[in-house]
Chain A
Amino acid sequence: SYVLTQPPSVSVAPGKTARISCGGNNIGSKSVHWYQQRPGQAPVLVISYDNDRPSGIPERFSGSNSGNTATLTISRVEAEDEAGYYCQVWDSLSDHGVFGGGTKLTVL
């Protein structure tokens, strides 16, 4: 089955840029979605199809996807961005949804 690998944690100071990676075999050929999950809340879609922002998501959120790595970039990080972030793809081979293990973003 297809595996997505994320770093368990990323730390960043307020106002700086956070980058969260999501590794997978030839992930650049897949559509990657990113979800933000604050403690005790349901996930929220923040980036779809590699780099599309749903309505209401700040422009500070962007994404990229190439080769074996997709990346979620959060510019000018704010305290409210502190949360868990998950990447997700659809594995056409197994016809299953796949999530990365998640990355906890800490704002210092």
Chain B
Amino acid sequence: QVQLVQSGAEVKKSGSSVKVACKASGGTFNSYVISWVRQAPGQGLEWMGGIIPLFGTTNYAQKFQGRVTITADESTFTSYMQLDSLRSEDTAVYYCARRSVSPRTQPFDYWGQGTLVTVSS
């Protein structure tokens, strides 16, 4: 069955960067979009962006443009989300989620378990 397994929790200093991994198994990695969604403590879900591993094309939410980089390694079926210039407001659980490439209206049908990123000063 399809599984998305994420890397472990991170504690980072303000101003530094974090890179979270999401490894896919049980499905065809390249036929899907891997998206990243975050959730601050006690808050809702926030879409950050996504990547189509087959083409390497990315799409980022305007809020994170210039600060987030999403990549994919087809050889290991792994997507990465790097967030730079961390601040305390970036403390959140970061999820990867899968949806079909087309149409874009497809739902996120499988999710990773989440990675807690804590930013301290």
Contacts and interface: CB of A to CB of B under 8 A. Distances in A.
Contacts, number: 58
Interface stretch (B8-16, B67-75, B111-119): B111-119
B45 A99 contact: yes
Interface in B37-65: 37, 44-47, 50, 59, 61-62
Interface residues of B, number: 21
A48 B107 contact: yes
Interface string B97-116: 10000001101110111100
Interface of A: 1, 30-31, 33, 35, 37, 42-45, 48-49, 54, 86, 88-90, 92, 94-102
Interface of B: 35, 37, 44-47, 50, 59, 61-62, 95, 97, 104-105, 107-109, 111-114
